[in-house]
Structure 1
Amino acid sequence: MAQVKTPEQLEGVFQRLKQRMVERVLQAELTAHLGYPPGEGRGPDGNARNGTTPKTVLTDEGALPLAIPRDRAGSFAPQLAPKGVRRLPGFDQKVLSLYARGLTVRELQAHLEECYQVEVSPAVITAVTDAVLAEAGAWQQRPLEPVYIAVVLDGLRVKIRTEGLVQQQVIYLALGVRPSGEKEVLGFWLAAQEGAAFWQRVLSDLQGRGVQDILIALVDGLRGFPEAIHAVFPRTVVHQCVVHLVRQSLAQVNWRERKAVASALRGIYQAPGEAAAAQALSEWAASPLGQAHPEITALWQRHWEGIAPALAYPVEVRRLLYSTNAIESLHRTLRKSLKVRGHFPSAEAASKLLYLALRNAEVRLGTPHHWVEALRHIRLLFGDRVPAWQ
């Protein structure tokens, strides 16, 4: 890489690496097909290697000339570059996929060399992943829907090296539910610590990207959070997110107790009304588990005013508010990648991985069950603030 001085020369290095890697894989495919490695004569059926055929395939960056290996029987059908196929899956996507799982540049280099016997320099891998920053920036600034039925606002802590010191920072996440019921990651933001003032900046950013109204905001119990939301979206109904309360509650118990505690808490927030929910909370407090964990009872009592209003909603709407799958899926994806890394060398490195991990996770986000029924009740609650959709 020391001789690479221009973008054109770098592109040439990319092409040669791809060519070597693809041809190695094709040779490995032929070995598996024949049943014996190069230099060991013919296979048991008499079939043997028979040179190569030149072929040019298209990649994301342009044409890539290849030497496709042949066999004498003509029965070899390569999987990586199939016959008749002129476009090859991108090498860059393989690198980005592995990077999104939390592999460092050095780990990626070792993985690619082990799999394909091709040495890929860290500079090349970094160049591939750096290209994601522009894509992430465009994604972060993309226009959004004018109205979201609900938006979940959540934070996750990450370690980033800043000025020589590894310090904790907060990833601010916003997950929206469109009028169609589809879930969408609206964006992520990095800050030194979680606070209502920064959340207000996040909401102003959403407004600047086209959001005109948010019907329901689901938040944690951060002081000043409702005021920060109403400063930007004054008509938004703010609810304490049950996901946060359940998460905080389960963090207080050991793994053996988690299933029983989760079941008891479900009886509280799925009760048919506020009175029934309050009764369920009292029964929990008096139970052996509740007696063993009075801190959980105190937590729910402290945040009761934030969750009680939602208990008046029809069950179809409450299913939407209590749906934990999407936000928990995002958290699991991010935690898995972050755990592999430990900490990031810079904010840019964190942004690259977060964007790729979120992009992969967003593919798995679906539409809530019974969405049509829920939307009918939401229209009754919010009237003409709910836009029509097809």
Structure 2
Amino acid sequence: MTQPFNFEQALKDLQSGKSLTGKDSILGPLIKQLTEAALQAELEQHLAHDPQPNRKNGKTPKTIKHPSGNFELDAPRDRNGTFEPQLIKKNQTTLTDEIERKVLSMFSIGMSYRDINQHVEDMYGLNVSNATVSAITDKLIPELKAWQQRPLDSHYPIVWLDAIHYKVKEDGRYVSKAVYTLLALNMKGKKEILGLHLSENEGANYWLSVLTDLNNRGVKDILIACVDGLTGFPEAIASIFPHTETQLCVIHQIRNSMKYVASKNQKAFMADLKPVYRAVSKEAAEMALDELEAKWGDAYPLVINSWRRKWHNLSHYFKYPEHIRKVIYTTNAVEAVHRQFRKLTKTKGAFPNENSLLKLLYAGILNASDKWTMPIHNWSLCLSQLAIYFEGRLDSVLEI
């Protein structure tokens, strides 16, 4: 029989420094007493309304996990076996979902299963196995699937597209997989991740399927797409969104260029390259590019030809004012998301399957999205100017 909770002893224990929660806590016996009393009340209510003759039939002991510590619960039974308690169901082993919420919170900031287990042990005096942590975090997977298929807005002013790579076990060996991330600014100027896709290799062909998925989920128009220099990327975008302006990442272009410049010339080459990408206008940039070619064209024709070949998609940003240029000339916005992904996954050398990777990245997305509550700086001005540059494209969705 449960002993009544001794409030005088609890007060003495609290004054002596004993913990309110966790293993052997002050509140543990009180939680047990209140829970058993509530279950008894549920059973009596059930018996009072049972159309069949029925009565109490003893108790079944079960261990319950709770933030105030584990306790042995004496769950009441009825003779007919028709009693279904609501507070703690027959196969339930936790009193609240607080522990699960804590586990998911720690998981979403990249803590290892071992560290999660240790923290839960320290906080609640409970031992949470790796299998339990995995089972709890697996609850994110159906939510992730629904999120990947959710309907999207019809118009997005700006979208950044990029990929990050991870090792994932497949058929007994670890292979490199590309995670495709699509980050957008919606009509309110707030960041929103539109999708997360996984494929073996990054390529324009797979990006085509990703963009087709966006279109199928309701996206009808994107004004500006900011991407890296992947071959065939602008063509893939144009095939699904023919009116979208594709801006190649200037920072990617600079980095790729410097790979082919001798180390002894890099400082001087960068000084001559800077007037190209920092020019006040496209015309000034083209003059600076001509000067760059005149000086360095013989030594590094591959680099100069790359800028010439990609100039159409590299130079779109020059026609915009500074506050729009800063947003679109680089894919830094989506790369910042990938930096957060790397923080989450830095303790993981590789992943046993695709779901284990995607559920962790999705947990990170939920964390990041909670912080994206405000529009970017000067968004009202940016949007009004974009509406002018892309005349008529936003009329159906602007709230005027």
Q: What is residue 388 of structure 2 aligned with on the other side?
A: 380
Q: What is residue 303 of structure 1 aligned with on the other side?
A: 310
The letter of the residue matching 1:335 is R
Aligned mates of 1:334, 1:136 — CA distance in 2: 16
Aligned mates of 1:259, 1:326 — CA distance in 2: 27
Deviation at residue 129 of structure 1 after TM alignment: 0.3
Aligned mates of 1:134, 1:251 — CA distance in 2: 43
Aligned mates of 1:173, 1:320 — CA distance in 2: 17
Deviations 1:290-329 (CA, angstroms, capped at 9, x unpaired): xx99987776555333211321233343233136553232
Deviation at residue 134 of structure 1 after TM alignment: 0.8
Q: What is residue 242 of structure 2 aligned with on the other side?
A: 234
Pairing partner for 2:360 from 353, 365, 371? 353
Range that drifts further, 368-377 or 303-312: 303-312
Q: What is residue 179 of structure 2 aligned with on the other side?
A: 171
Q: What is residue 152 of structure 1 aligned with on the other side?
A: 160
Pairing partner for 1:54 from 8, 11, 30? 30
The letter of the residue matching 1:175 is L
Deviation at residue 356 of structure 1 after TM alignment: 0.7
Q: What is residue 339 of structure 2 aligned with on the other side?
A: 332
CA contact (8 A) 2:344 2:364 kept: yes
Pairing partner for 1:218 from 226, 231, 242? 226
Deviation at residue 165 of structure 1 after TM alignment: 0.8
Deviations 1:122-171 (CA, angstroms, capped at 9, x unpaired): 22211110000011111111111100001111111111111111111100
Deviation at residue 177 of structure 1 after TM alignment: 1.2
Q: What is residue 149 of structure 2 aligned with on the other side?
A: 141
Unmatched segments (≥5 aa) in structure 2 = 1-9, 20-24, 36-64, 70-94
Q: Are residues 1:273 and 2:253 paired? A: no
Relative to structure 1, the CA distance from residue 171 to residue 93 in structure 2 (aligned partners, 3 Å threshold; closer, same or farther) is same
Relative to structure 1, the CA distance from residue 302 to residue 109 in structure 2 (aligned partners, 3 Å threshold; closer, same or farther) is farther
CA RMSD of aligned residues (A): 4.2
Pairing partner for 1:202 from 179, 201, 210? 210
Pairing partner for 1:389 from 368, 382, 399? 399
Aligned mates of 2:125, 2:205 — CA distance in 1: 51
Deviations 1:261-299 (CA, angstroms, capped at 9, x unpaired): 9999776434211233345567889999xxx99987776
CA contact (8 A) 1:103 1:341 kept: no
Could you say what secondary structure the match of 1:145 adopts? coil
CA contact (8 A) 2:181 2:334 kept: no
CA contact (8 A) 2:228 2:331 kept: no
Q: What is residue 71 of structure 1 aligned with on the other side?
A: none
CA contact (8 A) 2:226 2:330 kept: no
CA contact (8 A) 2:226 2:331 kept: no
Could you say what secondary structure the match of 1:151 adopts? strand
Aligned mates of 1:146, 1:299 — CA distance in 2: 35
Relative to structure 1, the CA distance from residue 334 to residue 245 in structure 2 (aligned partners, 3 Å threshold; closer, same or farther) is farther
Pairing partner for 1:312 from 316, 319, 322? 319
The letter of the residue matching 2:351 is F
Identity of aligned residues (%): 36
Aligned mates of 2:363, 2:268 — CA distance in 1: 36
Deviation at residue 203 of structure 1 after TM alignment: 0.8
Alignment length, in residue pairs?
324
Q: What is residue 348 of structure 2 aligned with on the other side?
A: 341
Could you say what secondary structure the match of 2:390 adopts? helix
Relative to structure 1, the CA distance from residue 200 to residue 331 in structure 2 (aligned partners, 3 Å threshold; closer, same or farther) is same
Could you say what secondary structure the match of 1:384 adopts? coil
The letter of the residue matching 2:246 is V
Deviation at residue 221 of structure 1 after TM alignment: 1.6
Q: What is residue 132 of structure 1 aligned with on the other side?
A: 140
Q: What is residue 58 of structure 2 aligned with on the other side?
A: none
Aligned mates of 2:384, 2:306 — CA distance in 1: 33
Relative to structure 1, the CA distance from residue 268 to residue 335 in structure 2 (aligned partners, 3 Å threshold; closer, same or farther) is farther
The letter of the residue matching 2:399 is W
Deviations 1:43-93 (CA, angstroms, capped at 9, x unpaired): xxxxxxx96573569xxxxx96958xxxxxxxxxxxxxxxxxxx9883223
Deviations 1:337-368 (CA, angstroms, capped at 9, x unpaired): 22221111110101111111122122333522
Unmatched segments (≥5 aa) in structure 1 = 1-26, 39-49, 58-62, 68-86
Relative to structure 1, the CA distance from residue 251 to residue 95 in structure 2 (aligned partners, 3 Å threshold; closer, same or farther) is farther
Deviation at residue 378 of structure 1 after TM alignment: 0.8
Q: What is residue 101 of structure 1 aligned with on the other side?
A: 109
Deviation at residue 101 of structure 1 after TM alignment: 2.9
Pairing partner for 2:371 from 353, 364, 372? 364
Aligned mates of 2:226, 2:321 — CA distance in 1: 17
Relative to structure 1, the CA distance from residue 225 to residue 155 in structure 2 (aligned partners, 3 Å threshold; closer, same or farther) is same
